[in-house]
Amino acid sequence: MKFRGLLKEFSLTQQLFGIVFLFIVFFVSFFFMFLSWNIDGFVRSQMYGIIRRTQSNIVYNYRLSVPTEALFGGNDPNIVHIIFNDDGTILASSNVDSLSSDLIEELKQNAYNQQISSRDYISLLDNQKILYTISRINMSTAIASTISSSYRDEFKTTLLNSVVNIMVIVVSVLFFLLMIWVAYLIHPLNQIRAYIEKIRHGEDAELKVDRKDEIGEVASALVAMQVEIKRSEQLKEEMIHNISHDLKTPIATIKSYGESIKDGVYPYETLEKSVDVIIEHANRLEKKVQSLLLLNRLGYMASEGVEVGEIDMIDVVSKAILSLKVIRPEIKIETNLQRVSYTGSMEPWRVVVENLLDNAIRYAKSKIVITLSENELSVFNDGPAMSDDRLSKLFKAYEKGSDGQFGLGLAIVHKVVTAYGFVPAAFNVDKGVIFKITQKRVKKSSKK
Which residue intervals of 74-148 are DSSP H helices?
101-113
Is-contact 47 154, C-beta < 8 A? no
Whole-model pTM: value is 0.43
Most confident of 83-92, 294-303, 367-376: 367-376
Other beta carbons within 10 Å of 395: 21
443 pLDDT above the threshold of 50: no
Interval 197-220: pLDDT, tens: 888 887 877 888 777 778 888 888
Residue partners of 81: CB distance under 8 A and separation at least 6: 54, 55, 58, 72, 75, 92, 93, 143, 144, 145
Least confident of 278-282, 398-402, 420-424: 398-402
Query: Is 413 strand, coil or helix?
Result: helix
Q: What is the mean pLDDT of residues 230-255?
A: 73
Is-contact 433 386, C-beta < 8 A? yes
Is-contact 102 89, C-beta < 8 A? no
388 pLDDT above the threshold of 80: yes
448 pLDDT above the threshold of 50: no
Least confident of 88-97, 157-166, 439-448: 439-448
Q: Are strands 432-439 and 90-92 parallel, antiparallel or unpaired?
A: unpaired
Distances in whole angstroms, Cα of residue 131 to Cα of each of 79, 116, 124, 148? 10, 18, 9, 8
pLDDT at 334: 92
329 pLDDT above the threshold of 70: yes
Q: How confident is the model at residue 404 (pLDDT cuts 50, 70, 90)?
A: very low
pLDDT at 419: 81
Residue partners of 35: CB distance under 8 A and separation at least 6: 160, 163
295 pLDDT above the threshold of 70: no
Q: What is the mean pLDDT of residues 128-150?
A: 89
pLDDT at 447: 41
What's the length of the chain? Answer: 448
Q: In 3D, which of 397, 324, 312 has the Cα closest to residue 354?
A: 324
> In this structure, what are the phi and psi dihedrals at residue 376, rounded to the nearest 5 degrees?
-155, 140
Residue that wins the pLDDT comparison between 168 and 367? 367
Least confident of 150-154, 329-333, 393-397: 393-397
Q: What is the mean pLDDT of the chain?
A: 81
Instruction: Please return the burial class of 443, using the count of CB atoms within 10 Å of its CB with bins 0-12, 13-18 and 19+.
Output: middle
pLDDT at 434: 94
**What domains are there in the chain, each with its CATH number?**
13-154 (3.30.450), 214-299 (1.10.287.130), 307-439 (3.30.565.10)
Q: How confident is the model at residue 9 (pLDDT cuts 50, 70, 90)?
A: low
Most confident of 243-247, 348-352, 390-394: 348-352
Q: How confident is the model at residue 444 (pLDDT cuts 50, 70, 90)?
A: very low
Q: What is the mean pLDDT of residues 234-244?
A: 69
